[in-house]
């Protein structure tokens, strides 16, 4: 099969690889469509150390090609979505309910990180009964792809925010994760959604997905603006970027008793620490909470997200700005590196 792999030191390419084989609890999926994630870019640029030759990608859907002897829920030919996070369901983290922390911190994220990813013609899924989800007939492959990472990550950011019905939320950055958090905030009943985003196309999409106000951080200071708009701050703030500056802004704009919900990856900077401004944190006694999350996986979660799409609550494919056949995946990848041409998400078809 053809696979898109890491070739070391910032280099990538399509190579030939053997089709993977399923152990007793596993499944092999024939890929029909994928999305490329900014995490793939981080990985290739050295943000996550992986061996040369490792297949990239963790946002793919497809058709079941083979199942292991213990798999009971799925059969060859089923059209399925697989989340980027594929927990075992049994370890301490999973039994405690933190399936994304399967086997240890961030351990639910196995594609590319612990084994080959799924930007390839076929891919392997551990614990298939736990992790595969049937795609309903009314949901396209392209739509289903968004449940594998973007929506699930954005939504957990909104869920963790614990926005009361009619409450207010600020969401920093409107890339695909932030846009998904904006959709999530509408689904969680926010009464005032303030998005912070400078790129006009992303700002427009944020409005379309439910943002009531979009602040351009290149024009005004978001912290002052949000305090001015709300008086005492927002009920919750979501950091969908993962920078010291956005995290700090989240702490500052959240009212006493509010929630700072982080879904940004804070591993990309040159620092080993994240700094909380003490005054706005009530000197550690302001009843503010900081929540953090990694994308949530699993069959039940994915099935619910697919149902929201099937019920036409929103259309995630507005985030698809580009489309490429798999043979041009390297071109798509370069675009994600440069973020040129107003790219949000590139769809890869097989």
Instruction: Count Cβ atoms below 10 Å from residue 21 Cβ, excluding itself.
Output: 10
Least distance from C-beta 60 to its own copies, angstroms?
A: 21
Q: Which is nearer to its own copies, 11 or 313 (CB)?
A: 313
295 and 303 in contact (C-beta within 8 Å)?
A: no
Classify residue 179 by burial, with Cβ atoms within 10 Å: 0-12, 13-18, 19+: buried
Q: Which is nearer to its own copies, 186 or 321 (CB)?
A: 186
Residue 250, Ramachandran bin (φ over 0: left; ψ between -120 and 50: alpha; else beta): alpha
The CA distance from 142 to 120, in Å, is 16
Q: Residue-wise over 33-46: b if at least 16 C-beta within 10 A, else e?
A: bbbbbbbbbebbee
Least distance from C-beta 133 to its own copies, angstroms?
A: 11
Q: Which is nearer to its own copies, 95 or 224 (CB)?
A: 95
The CA distance from 55 to 52, in Å, is 9
Least distance from C-beta 93 to its own copies, angstroms?
A: 6
Least distance from C-beta 21 to its own copies, angstroms?
A: 16
Q: Which is nearer to its own copies, 167 or 346 (CB)?
A: 167
SS3 of residue 57 by DSSP: coil
Instruction: Identify the DSSP state of 289.
Output: E
Least distance from C-beta 271 to its own copies, angstroms?
A: 7
Q: Which is nearer to its own copies, 179 or 329 (CB)?
A: 179
Q: Which is nearer to its own copies, 31 or 100 (CB)?
A: 100
Least distance from C-beta 294 to its own copies, angstroms?
A: 4
Instruction: Count Cβ atoms below 10 Å from residue 224 Cβ, excluding itself.
Output: 12
């Amino acid at each position: 099969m053809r696979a898109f792999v890491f070739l070391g030191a910032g280099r990538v390419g399509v190579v030939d690889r053997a089709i993977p084989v399923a152990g007793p609890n596993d499944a092999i999926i024939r890929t029909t469509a994928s999305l490329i994630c900014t995490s793939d870019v981080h990985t290739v640029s050295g943000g996550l150390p992986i061996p040369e030759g490792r297949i990239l990608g963790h946002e793919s859907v497809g058709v079941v090609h083979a199942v292991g002897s213990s798999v009971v829920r799925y059969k060859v030919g089923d059209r399925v979505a697989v989340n980027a996070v594929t927990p075992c369901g049994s370890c301490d983290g999973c039994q405690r309910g933190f399936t994304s922390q399967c086997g240890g911190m961030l351990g639910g994220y196995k594609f590319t990180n612990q084994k080959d990813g799924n930007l390839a013609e076929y891919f392997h899924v551990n614990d298939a009964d736990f992790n595969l989800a049937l795609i309903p007939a009314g949901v396209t492959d392209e739509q289903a792809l968004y449940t594998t990472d973007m929506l699930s990550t954005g939504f957990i950011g909104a869920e963790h925010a614990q926005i009361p019905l009619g409450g207010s939320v600020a969401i920093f950055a409107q890339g695909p994760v932030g846009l998904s958090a904006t959709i999530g905030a509408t689904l969680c009943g926010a009464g005032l959604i303030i998005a912070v985003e400078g790129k006009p196309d992303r700002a427009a999409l944020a409005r379309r997905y439910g943002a009531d106000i979009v602040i351009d951080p290149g024009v005004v200071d978001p912290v002052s603006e949000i305090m001015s708009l709300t008086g005492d701050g927002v009920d919750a703030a979501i950091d969908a970027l993962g920078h010291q500056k956005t995290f700090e802004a989240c702490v500052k704009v959240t009212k006493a008793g509010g929630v700072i919900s982080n879904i940004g990856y804070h591993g990309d900077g040159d620092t080993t620490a994240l700094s909380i401004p003490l005054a706005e944190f009530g000197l550690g006694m302001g009843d503010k909470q900081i929540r953090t999350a990694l994308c949530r996986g699993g069959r039940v979660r994915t099935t619910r997200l697919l149902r929201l799409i099937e019920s036409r609550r929103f259309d995630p494919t507005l985030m698809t700005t580009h489309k490429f056949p798999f043979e041009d995946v390297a071109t798509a990848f370069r675009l994600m590196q440069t973020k040129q041409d107003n790219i949000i998400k590139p769809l890869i078809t097989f």
